[in-house]
Structure 1
Amino acid sequence: MADPTVAVNDAIALEKKTWPVKFYVLLFLIGMVALWSILCGISHKSPDLDNMEELVWASSFEWGYYKHPPVPAWFMYGLTSLFGKPIWLTFFAGQLFSAIALWFVWLLGCEFTTPRRAFIAVLLVSVTAYFSVRATVYNHNSVQLWSIVASTWLFYRALRYGKTSDWLWLGAACGMAFITKYSALIQFAAFFVFFIRQKHYRQAGVCKGVLWALLTFLVVISPHVYWLFQHSFEPLYYADESIKPIEANFSSLNDIWGFATTQLGRLAPMFVAWLALLYWDRRGKAAGHDAVPETSRYAASLSAWDRSFLLIVGFSPFVLTVLVSGALGTALGASWASTFFVLFGFYVFWWLYGDEAVQLRRTAIVVIVIHVLMACGYALGRGPLGYYTGRKTDSTFPGVAISEEMQAVWREHVPGVPLTLVASDTWLGGNIAVHVKPAANVFIDGSLKESPWLKAGAMKCGMLVAYSKTTNGNAPGPRIKKLYDQAVFKGVVQQRWSTAKSPLIVIDWGIIAPEAGCRAAAR
Structure 2
Amino acid sequence: MRPSTSLTRQTSPHYAKALILYLLFFVLLWTVLTSISHKAPDLDGMEELVWASSFELGYIKHPPFPSWIMYGLTQLLGRPVWLSFFAGMLASAAGLVFLWLLAREFLSPRLSFLVVLLASVNIYFSLRGTIFNHNTAQLWSIMASIWFFYRACRDQRLSDWAWLGVVAGFALMTKYSAVIQFAAFFLYLLASGLWRHGRTWQGMLVATITLGITFSPHLYWLHSNDYAPFLYMDKSLAAPTRWQAYSALLSFTLDQLARLSPMIIAVGALYYCYRRDLRQKGHHVSDNNVNYGAQIHSREKQFLLWVGLSPFLSTVLIAALLGSHLDASWATTFFVLYSFYFLFAIKGAEPLQTKRLLVIVLIIQILMATGYALARGPLAWETGRKSRSTFPGPEIASQMQAVWRQHVPATPLRIVASDTWLGGNIAINTSPDAQVYIDAQLAQSPWLRDADLQCGILVVFSRQTRGEPAASLLQLYEQTHWKGLEQLHWSSANSPILDLNWGIIPPSPSCEAAR
TM-score (norm 1): 0.95
CA distance in 2, matches of 1:238, 1:521: 38
Deviation at 1:477, TM superposition (A): 2.1
CA distance in 2, matches of 1:42, 1:483: 37
Check whether the contact 1:246–1:330 (CA below 8 A) recurs between aligned residues: no
Check whether the contact 2:287–2:349 (CA below 8 A) recurs between aligned residues: no
Determine helix, strand or coil for the equivalent of 1:466.
strand
Residue by residue, what CA displacement relative to the aligned partner does 1:248-269 show, whole Å, maximum 9, x if unpaired? 4x55443332211110001111
Determine helix, strand or coil for the equivalent of 2:507.
coil
In structure 2, give the amino acid aligned to 1:398.
P
| Structure 1 range deviating more: 53-62 or 202-211 | 202-211
CA distance in 2, matches of 1:12, 1:209: 32
Whether 2:270 is the aligned partner of 1:277: answer yes
Paired position in structure 1 for 2:294: 300
CA distance in 2, matches of 1:11, 1:352: 25
CA distance in 2, matches of 1:12, 1:484: 71
Determine helix, strand or coil for the equivalent of 1:69.
coil
Whether 2:478 is the aligned partner of 1:485: answer yes
CA distance in 2, matches of 1:14, 1:299: 19
Q: List alignment gaps of at least 5 residues for structure 2.
A: none
CA distance in 1, matches of 2:432, 2:126: 32
Deviation at 1:357, TM superposition (A): 1.7
Check whether the contact 1:421–1:464 (CA below 8 A) recurs between aligned residues: yes
CA distance in 2, matches of 1:295, 1:213: 43
CA distance in 2, matches of 1:99, 1:503: 37
Check whether the contact 2:271–2:347 (CA below 8 A) recurs between aligned residues: no
Paired position in structure 1 for 2:43: 49
Paired position in structure 1 for 2:185: 191
Check whether the contact 1:246–1:329 (CA below 8 A) recurs between aligned residues: no
CA distance in 2, matches of 1:472, 1:389: 20
Residue by residue, what CA displacement relative to the aligned partner does 1:346-388 show, whole Å, maximum 9, x if unpaired? 1122132333221210110000000000000000000010011
Match of 1:266 among 250, 259, 266: 259
Paired position in structure 2 for 1:5: none
Paired position in structure 1 for 2:411: 417
Whether 2:358 is the aligned partner of 1:367: answer no
TM-score (norm 2): 0.97
CA distance in 2, matches of 1:238, 1:304: 42
Match of 1:174 among 162, 168, 173: 168
CA distance in 1, matches of 2:155, 2:353: 30
Deviation at 1:16, TM superposition (A): 5.9
Determine helix, strand or coil for the equivalent of 2:135.
helix
CA distance in 2, matches of 1:437, 1:182: 33
What pairs with 1:17-416 in structure 2 (closer than 5 Å)?
Answer: 17-245=11-239, 247-248=241-242, 251-288=244-281, 291-416=285-410
Determine helix, strand or coil for the equivalent of 1:281.
helix
CA distance in 2, matches of 1:335, 1:11: 40
CA distance in 2, matches of 1:255, 1:410: 45
Residue by residue, what CA displacement relative to the aligned partner does 1:207-249 show, whole Å, maximum 9, x if unpaired? 111111111011111111110000000001111111114634x
Check whether the contact 1:400–1:431 (CA below 8 A) recurs between aligned residues: yes
In structure 2, give the amino acid aligned to 1:200.
L
Paired position in structure 2 for 1:447: 441
Determine helix, strand or coil for the equivalent of 2:455.
coil
CA distance in 2, matches of 1:12, 1:339: 34
Check whether the contact 2:481–2:505 (CA below 8 A) recurs between aligned residues: yes
CA distance in 2, matches of 1:13, 1:267: 31
Determine helix, strand or coil for the equivalent of 1:129.
coil
CA distance in 2, matches of 1:74, 1:385: 35
Residue by residue, what CA displacement relative to the aligned partner does 1:113-153 show, whole Å, maximum 9, x if unpaired? 01110111111111111001111111000000100000001
Residue by residue, what CA displacement relative to the aligned partner does 1:311-361 show, whole Å, maximum 9, x if unpaired? 111111111001111111212211111100000111122132333221210
CA distance in 1, matches of 2:232, 2:274: 50
CA distance in 2, matches of 1:119, 1:501: 47
Deviation at 1:11, TM superposition (A): 8.3
Check whether the contact 1:46–1:398 (CA below 8 A) recurs between aligned residues: yes
In structure 1, give the amino acid aligned to 2:465.
T
Determine helix, strand or coil for the equivalent of 1:505.
strand
Determine helix, strand or coil for the equivalent of 1:457.
helix
Paired position in structure 1 for 2:509: 516
Q: List alignment gaps of at least 5 residues for structure 1.
A: 1-9
CA distance in 1, matches of 2:346, 2:471: 60
Paired position in structure 2 for 1:7: none
CA distance in 1, matches of 2:13, 2:288: 29
In structure 2, give the amino acid aligned to 1:91.
F
Check whether the contact 2:418–2:439 (CA below 8 A) recurs between aligned residues: yes
Determine helix, strand or coil for the equivalent of 2:409.
coil
In structure 2, give the amino acid aligned to 1:422.
V
Check whether the contact 1:85–1:439 (CA below 8 A) recurs between aligned residues: no
CA distance in 2, matches of 1:441, 1:251: 39
Check whether the contact 2:79–2:432 (CA below 8 A) recurs between aligned residues: no
CA distance in 1, matches of 2:235, 2:378: 37
Check whether the contact 1:292–1:353 (CA below 8 A) recurs between aligned residues: no
Matched residues, percent identical?
49
What pairs with 1:465-480 in structure 2 (closer than 5 Å)?
Answer: 465-474=459-468, 476-480=469-473
Deviation at 1:46, TM superposition (A): 0.9
| Structure 1 range deviating more: 505-514 or 481-490 | 481-490
How many residues in Structure 1 have an aligned counterpart in Structure 2? Answer: 511
Check whether the contact 2:165–2:209 (CA below 8 A) recurs between aligned residues: yes
